[in-house]
Structure 1
Amino acid sequence: MERTGILILCSCMLATVLGAKFPKSWTSCKPDENMNACLKDSIQTALVDLVPGMPSLGVLPLDPLHFDAITIDQGEGPVNIKLEFTDLDITGIKDMQIDSVNGDWKTMEIETLVPRLLSKGNYKVGGKILLLPIKGDGKCVLDMTNFRGHVKLHYTEKAAGSKTYYNVEKLDFDFDVENLVMQFDNLFNGDKALGDNMNKFLNQNWKEILHELKPNIAATFAVAFREISNRLFSRITKPQITPS
């Protein structure tokens, strides 16, 4: 995975604390009792400017957010599938709301809400879902309502020469959705009856299916989130992020 939803959070978080280099409307947030409220408001403000991309921070456009490839390999349990997405575009990020930020630069928790997250691209799947076989490849759409992201970053400090940088040692990620509607075209080699029935089954049982897949999805994304976070942190020194 080249980019993921945490890119939005980390790039916003980093950019908003760099007052000198970015638009005057973006507020620097000092590590004091008001920092969390400051970060929440600053991230929300900066998100508008970051959505189209910001090359100076290595931030590519965030809406649509493009993935070259994502693989979910679930080898056991009621949902036993290998699901591959390619050329996946996710829209709706421009409407992200930052609900809360809570941290002390040793850990930081960020809660977000996206009212509607729409994913469109190509898929390939094989395996079993709740004991039913599934196979197909083609176009797909995943439509999520009220996507809530829960992110926790664990920080250390890293010296490089005379400079000090923040480093994300560990990142925990989880998410919830209010509703999920799926459409997978060309299931079972284009058999319309079987494909329609499977799509109906998937949407009737989306909660159970997502529950089984969520740990795998969250762990896969967390690895990529940490890499992206540290790529961004490596560009900016600790004093720039948390001015004294």
Structure 2
Amino acid sequence: MAAKTALTMAALICICANSMDAAKPLPSIIKPCPKNDPKLNECAVVSGNLAIPKLKSGIPSLGVPPMDPFFVKKINVEGNGIGVHLIFRDVNLHGLSDTKVTSIRITHDPPNFIWNIHIPVMQMIGKYEASGKVLLLPITGKGDFNVTMFGMDVQYEFSCDTVKRSDGELYYSPSSNKVEYSVKKVSFQMENLFNGNKLLGDEMNRFLNENWREVDKSWGPEVAESVVGAMTVVTRAITSKVPVKNFWTYVRKIRVENGGMGISMQSVNVRIHGLSKSKPIGQWMNKVSPPSFRWNLFAPRLEINSNHEVHRRILLLPIVGKGNLNITLTDVDYVYSFDCDLERREDGKEYLVPRTSHIDFKSSRMHTTLTNLFNGNKLLGNQMNYFLNENWREIQKEFGPPIADALAKAIRKIVNGITRKVPLDAIFPEEV
């Protein structure tokens, strides 16, 4: 197999790594969760509660409007049970940015999401038109209104289809939803009832507030739908532009267990940045079946982020903590090796099927930051991070093998994406 085509495939890996980096991401205000993590639901609750306050101004780049206040053009209440026909227009919902996510339940096959949220206080302010009866009393009017709901709990369940688009990516397509809600108290203030008759208007407002439970049975479901409408706007805007794969991270692990320095550390949810900047600088290939490959590549900078849990000792110093990990490698020379089988498909073409892979690397510098060491003791934590970086060569010897394993898995995912779709004679046309 020619050197030119070997370098071409190495370059293709770098291009694919770049396309992975460039894929439409989730908005930065939303923290993706590990898809197959047993604690996925707990992670989603944390992510939701971090994101909601930041949605107040909307996400213009995705077409998400401001969420507080959230504008609703029209809410139509048919008056089931109490005989009133009511239209709310040009309604501003205030208070949605104070929403708290209390629980989330996610299933993947088929995609289904159940959100339970709590809104401490939500105000609806706008224009109304009313006619008919509330309970046994006639009501008519047109003017300003304010409905305030206290302690509102909403369960919002929605299902999704997955649709493959022209870019080859799968996207969520919300297909159905249902809503349940409860509220602890509702207050009403309707202006200009009975053509501005203040006496009758005040009596009707008093009656509405004294009988809010009965009134809410009729008006509440439409109001709850307006809250869900706000959630649906966000959901549809994001799912229409962000592919399924970018909603999740995938649990990768780096484990250092009782190495030469006595450290025990596990990192999960590992994310690697910088592979897209790699440049191929050399190669070796075995023409004899089964094929094997080795590429020499150079990355100016690789950054590894994860969640860590560490204890025992580094060199002679005790260390304990649970938080975030950042490892930055500079001027990284790495050699990626892998073996393949050949598989003939129904189209009559041969495809490479990667079997085993391995990486060796070296760097000119390694910088490590561990957060929340020693139960958040900033002084001890800073001293430990200083010590780690002063002794980075020794630390790299300890961390090197698990880092190499994480890098190998990331690159193998890219290679698999190529070899699964592209036949051998297209990857190496000179062999045709």
Does the 8 Å contact 1:98/1:112 carry over to 2? yes
1:127 paired with 2:127, answer: no
Q: Which residue of 2 aligns with 1:13?
A: none
**Which AA in structure 1 matches 2:146?**
V
Name the counterpart of 1:110.
115
Are 2:163 and 2:173, in contact at CA under 8 Å, matched by a contact in 1?
Answer: yes
How much has 1:134 moved relative to structure 2? Answer: 0.7
Q: Match of 1:89?
A: 92
Paired residue for 2:207, among 201, 207, 214?
A: 201
1-side partners of 2:218 and 2:25: how far apart? 46
1:188-216 Cα deviation digits (max 9, x unpaired): 11111111111111111110111133445
Of 8, 26, 33 in structure 2, the residue corresponding to residue 29 of structure 1 is: 33
Moved more, 152-161 or 115-124: 152-161
The AA in structure 1 aligned to 2:31 is T
1:181 — aligned with what? 187
The 2-side partners of 1:95 and 1:225 are apart by: 14
1:238 to 233, 236, 244: 244
Query: Residue type of the partner of 1:37?
Result: E
Distance 1:53 1:86, change over 3 A: same
Once the 2 structures are TM-superposed, how far is the Cα of residue 186 of structure 1 from its aligned partner?
0.6
Q: Which has the higher contact order (CA 8 A, sep 6+)?
A: 1
Aligned residues: 224
Counterparts of 2:243 and 2:223, CA distance in 1: 31
Contact map agreement 2:67 2:230 (CA 8 A) in 1: no
Amino acid at match of 2:209: N
1:193-244 alpha-carbon deviations (Å, 9 max, x no partner) = 1111111111111101111334455567767865763343111111112344
- Given candidates 166, 177, 188, the residue that maps to 1:171 is 177
Distance 2:220 2:234 in 1: 21
1:57 equivalent to 2:62? Answer yes
Aligned residues: percent identity? 27
Residues 36-45 or 82-91, more deviating: 82-91
Corresponding position of 2:46? 41
For 2:160 and 2:65, how far apart are their aligned partners in 1?
24
1:146 aligns with 2:151: yes
Describe the shift of the 1:92–1:218 C-alpha distance in structure 2 as closer, same or farther (beyond 3 A): closer
Partner of 2:103: 100
CA shift for structure 1 position 127: 1.0
Asked whether the equivalents of residues 153 and 182 of structure 2 are also in contact (C-alpha less than 8 Å), the reply is yes
CA distance in 1, matches of 2:229, 2:191: 30
Q: By how many angstroms is 1:94 displaced?
A: 2.0
Which residue identity is paired with 2:35? P
Deviation of residue 152 (structure 1)? 0.6
The verdict on how the C-alpha distance between 1:174 and 1:63 changes in structure 2, with shifts beyond 3 A counting, is: same
Distance 2:202 2:46 in 1: 45
Q: 1:196 to 1:210 in 2, by over 3 A?
A: same
State the Cα deviation string for residues 91-110 of structure 1 (Å, max 9, x = none): 11221111111111321111
RMSD of aligned alpha carbons? 2.4
Letter matched to residue 117 of structure 2: T
